[in-house]
Chains A and B, each alone.
Chain A
Amino acid sequence: MVKAVDGVSFEVAEGETLGIVGESGSGKSVTALSLLRLVPEPGRVVEGRVMFRSQNVLEMDAEELREFRGSDVAMIFQDPMSSMNPVLRVGFQIEEAMDAHHRFNHKQAQQRVVPMLDTVRIPAASQRARDYPHQFSGGMRQRAMIAMGLSNEPSLIVADEPTTALDVTVQASIIELLRDLNRERRMAVILITHNLAVVASLCTRVLVMYAGRIVESGPTRQIFRSPQHPYTWSLLRSLPRVDESKHERLLNIRGLPPDMTNLPPGCKFHPRCRFRVERCFHEEPPLVDVDPGQQARCWVLMRNALKDHEDLR
């Protein structure tokens, strides 16, 4: 049995933007899928609760779950092509999403299609509603997916790598769109991504995941200014930045992302950590408060580690 996600706890407030960052195998996508009870077979959630307002998602019956997905929460994925039916018109699919839930009657649903496409800034929306998905570009499909997700006015949108397959100018417009929706409609956003810059751009709070665990969490500004987990700190140092002219050498993070079928004992990051101490090899640290609102899972913490490494400060 592989524990893709192990003991992850977090909350999202109404209208908040939360980023979940990690590499492949970190468990970030499985975490998101668990929220909606969408973990593919044979995977399952073996322990824990997912509370939406006062209801436990893991205990909902089929009908409650159907209502919850799609009308309370919408999910958008990396590849919008595979999430749409290729033989149905885009407008019809959005209408169908509204008919499936009963927030709007059929007539209202029909009338809402074009305004929804307008909201996500698809030009000539009334004509484009009659197009098929293949007639849309990648960025437009992602917008159409977002329109579909928004059509039932959910209070939370879960976006799993929504811009990874897109060009940078298109990525910028999708981020801008999510930001506006969050501000104007008070819609909470959970953004799952490997891209720390996108998190810095959109999210007020961030969870950093490694080997199925949260290794650091807190307000985005605080985490980026003063990361306390060596993994977060190293990632930030390993990124080239478009605003940096210094031709400085990037920080090498040695080793490989963890193999989830064969995790090391102790801290899961210790094989790659340059600040490890004896204890890290055999005892896994708990996630503890390190600053107001900020937690980290580390025996050492960067504020102590950097005292001995003047060269890295």
Chain B
Amino acid sequence: MKTSAEPSTQLASATDGVLVRVKDVVKHFPVGAGLFGAEVVHAVDDVSFDIQAGETLGLVGESGSGKSTLGRVIVQLLPATSGSVFLEGRELTKLHGEKLRRVRQRMQMIFQDPYGSLNPRMTVGDIIGEPLRNFGLLRVKTGERAVQEVMRICGLNPNFVNRYPHEFSGGQRQRIGIARALILRPTFIVADEPISALDVSIQAQIVNLLEDLQAQFHLTYLFIAHDLSVVRHISDRIAVMYLGKIVELAASREIYPRPLHPYTKALLSSIPVPDPELEAQRRTILLKGEIPSPVNPPSGCRFHTRCPIAQFPICAEQEPPLELKERDHWAACHFSEKVPVAV
């Protein structure tokens, strides 16, 4: 029984605008040989969902949830252990060599660290133009023009084309990373924590830029972040990950006021808001313990060891499937109906 595959099939029949389909994706990493054979990190375990063309899907979770790994598997920077990823109906996980390389033009990635992800020995123009060269699209004149055009679109001064990354601030470097992702005119961009390394006063600039680009080029985003405030702001729908599983998936206007998974509810209750009067009333749901090791995830529901409403033995024995609980609102919890009142 592959109940967890339902969100993708169901949504697909509801609308035809599916751009990316993730189906039963599993990603395990071996971690050396233990006494009884090799152990594996269950980074992503049997994850399925669709991303609609033109939408922003937020992917949230704490460190160790597998959200970054999933992002990389989707753009084929990491091979999936099993399962499939489709882009515009084509199964990426079956493509190899030149065919995969061609499809890569359609999907790009923006990284968290604007310092580590730019080659310090290349000029900004070379960095942004490199994808054109890689795909044999560079004509000397038009290429240069394309680079300057995309710099302008991303709020960089095109006259700085011959400067090096160290001459730019963190926010400007992130703009360079965005320009590099944009130059091939992709349809789909995975942004992995694109603003968390930036100063507070710069974050809004980058968020606004990403929103403007989306409107201008009809981009589809997978926006990966641990900051749920930004994710709420930018995302149409949100997927919450815990220990390699998607535990909840819904429209952001649904999930924030009315989470149906106890983990989502605890996570949301942990976020302070910049308002001292509201803060004086906010009640934090403190979870017991810490996130367990993905090498040996808990049996049954992976959250049962920390869940405030877990019931035994069912939660420790049966893994709850990601099910449609309300309209377009998916949750993986045996007792989701109790979450709004009991947690």
Contacts from A to B (Cβ < 8 Å): 23-24, 123, 137, 139-140, 167-173, 175-176, 194-201, 220-221, 224-225, 234-236, 238-245, 247, 249-254, 256-257, 272
Shortest Cβ distance from residue A274 to the other chain B in the assembled complex, whole angstroms: 13
Instruction: Determine whether the beta carbon of A198 is less than 8 Å from that of B201.
Output: no
B276 in the interface, Cβ–Cβ < 8 Å? yes
Question: CA–CA, A7 to B229, complex, Å?
Answer: 35
Shortest Cβ distance from residue A232 to the other chain B in the assembled complex, whole angstroms: 11
Question: CA–CA, A172 to B274, complex, Å?
Answer: 14
Question: CA–CA, A220 to B275, complex, Å?
Answer: 9
Contacts A168-B228, A220-B276, A252-B208 given; does A137 touch B290 at CB 8 Å: yes
Interface string of B255-293 (1 = CB under 8 A from A): 011000000001111111111111100101011011100
The interface residues of chain A lying within 8 Å CB-to-CB of B205 are 252-254
Question: CA–CA, A142 to B172, complex, Å?
Answer: 33
A163 to chain B: closest residue by CB: B272
Q: 8 Å CB contacts to A: which residues of B197-213?
A: 199-205, 207-208, 211
Question: Which of A169, A196, A244 touches B62 (beta carbons < 8 Å)?
Answer: A169
The interface residues of chain B lying within 8 Å CB-to-CB of A225 are 277
Known: A241-B229, A253-B204. 13 other contacts (CB 8 A): A123-B289, A137-B290, A168-B270, A168-B271, A169-B266, A196-B274, A197-B272, A199-B274, A201-B272, A224-B275, A239-B274, A252-B208, A253-B202
B230 in the interface, Cβ–Cβ < 8 Å? yes
Question: CA–CA, A257 to B268, complex, Å?
Answer: 30
Question: CA–CA, A234 to B226, complex, Å?
Answer: 23
B244 in the interface, Cβ–Cβ < 8 Å? no
Which interface residue of A172, A196, A198 has the most chain B CB atoms within 10 A? A172
B171 in the interface, Cβ–Cβ < 8 Å? yes
B9 in the interface, Cβ–Cβ < 8 Å? no
Question: Which of A24, A176, A249, A254 touches B211 (beta carbons < 8 Å)?
Answer: A249
Instruction: Determine whether the beta carbon of A235 is less than 8 Å from that of B200.
Output: yes
Question: CA–CA, A197 to B207, complex, Å?
Answer: 18
Instruction: Determine whether the beta carbon of A197 is less than 8 Å from that of B273.
Output: yes
Instruction: Determine whether the beta carbon of B272 is less than 8 Å from that of A200.
Output: yes
Interface size class of B (residues with CB under 8 A): 35 or more
Instruction: Determine whether the beta carbon of B201 is less than 8 Å from that of A253.
Output: yes
Shortest Cβ distance from residue B208 to the other chain A in the assembled complex, whole angstroms: 6
Question: CA–CA, A224 to B253, complex, Å?
Answer: 25
Shortest Cβ distance from residue B299 to the other chain A in the assembled complex, whole angstroms: 21
Question: CA–CA, A236 to B268, complex, Å?
Answer: 20
Q: Top 6 A-B pairs ranked by shortest CB distance?
A: A240-B233, A172-B270, A197-B272, A238-B204, A250-B204, A167-B62
Instruction: Determine whether the beta carbon of B233 is less than 8 Å from that of A256.
Output: no
Question: CA–CA, A83 to B87, complex, Å?
Answer: 47
The interface residues of chain B lying within 8 Å CB-to-CB of A24 are 199
B162 in the interface, Cβ–Cβ < 8 Å? no
Question: CA–CA, A224 to B273, complex, Å?
Answer: 11
Shortest Cβ distance from residue B51 to the other chain A in the assembled complex, whole angstroms: 19
Contacts A200-B279, A251-B204 given; does A242 touch B271 at CB 8 Å: yes
The interface residues of chain A lying within 8 Å CB-to-CB of B233 are 240-241, 244, 247, 250
19 A-B residue pairs with CB within 8 Å: A23-B199, A23-B201, A123-B289, A140-B290, A169-B286, A169-B287, A172-B272, A173-B286, A197-B279, A236-B274, A238-B204, A240-B234, A241-B232, A242-B268, A249-B208, A252-B205, A252-B208, A253-B201, A257-B199
Instruction: Determine whether the beta carbon of A171 is less than 8 Å from that of B270.
Output: yes
The interface residues of chain A lying within 8 Å CB-to-CB of B284 are 172-173, 176
Instruction: Determine whether the beta carbon of A194 is less than 8 Å from that of B199.
Output: yes
Instruction: Determine whether the beta carbon of B226 is less than 8 Å from that of A238.
Output: no
B169 in the interface, Cβ–Cβ < 8 Å? yes
Contacts from B to A (Cβ < 8 Å): 62-63, 169, 171-172, 199-205, 207-208, 211, 226-230, 232-234, 253, 256-257, 266-279, 282, 284, 286-287, 289-291
Question: CA–CA, A253 to B278, complex, Å?
Answer: 25
Instruction: Determine whether the beta carbon of B276 is less than 8 Å from that of A242.
Output: no
Instruction: Determine whether the beta carbon of A238 is less than 8 Å from that of B278.
Output: no
Instruction: Determine whether the beta carbon of A176 is less than 8 Å from that of B286.
Output: yes
The interface residues of chain A lying within 8 Å CB-to-CB of B270 are 168-169, 171-172
Question: Which of B62, B201, B287 touches A257 (beta carbons < 8 Å)?
Answer: B201
Question: Which of B201, B229, B290 touches A234 (beta carbons < 8 Å)?
Answer: B201
Instruction: Determine whether the beta carbon of A238 is less than 8 Å from that of B273.
Output: no
Instruction: Determine whether the beta carbon of A252 is less than 8 Å from that of B204.
Output: yes
The interface residues of chain A lying within 8 Å CB-to-CB of B201 are 23, 234-235, 238, 253, 257, 272
Question: CA–CA, A243 to B270, complex, Å?
Answer: 12
Instruction: Determine whether the beta carbon of A240 is less than 8 Å from that of B202.
Output: no
The interface residues of chain B lying within 8 Å CB-to-CB of A242 are 228-229, 232, 256, 268, 271, 273
Question: Which of A240, A243, A272 touches B278 (beta carbons < 8 Å)?
Answer: A243
The interface residues of chain B lying within 8 Å CB-to-CB of A253 are 201-202, 204-205
A236 to chain B: closest residue by CB: B274
The interface residues of chain B lying within 8 Å CB-to-CB of A175 are 272
Instruction: Determine whether the beta carbon of A224 is less than 8 Å from that of B204.
Output: no
The interface residues of chain A lying within 8 Å CB-to-CB of B226 are 167-168
A170 to chain B: closest residue by CB: B290
The interface residues of chain A lying within 8 Å CB-to-CB of B227 are 168
Question: CA–CA, A36 to B202, complex, Å?
Answer: 31
A249 to chain B: closest residue by CB: B208
Contacts A239-B229, A253-B204 given; does A198 touch B272 at CB 8 Å: yes
B289 to chain A: closest residue by CB: A123
Instruction: Determine whether the beta carbon of A167 is less than 8 Å from that of B199.
Output: no
Instruction: Determine whether the beta carbon of A200 is less than 8 Å from that of B208.
Output: no
Shortest Cβ distance from residue B37 to the other chain A in the assembled complex, whole angstroms: 25
Shortest Cβ distance from residue B341 to the other chain A in the assembled complex, whole angstroms: 20
Question: Which of B171, B232, B277, B278 touches A256 (beta carbons < 8 Å)?
Answer: B171
Instruction: Determine whether the beta carbon of B276 is less than 8 Å from that of A172.
Output: no
Contacts A168-B62, A168-B271, A241-B274 given; does A250 touch B199 at CB 8 Å: no
Question: CA–CA, A257 to B272, complex, Å?
Answer: 24
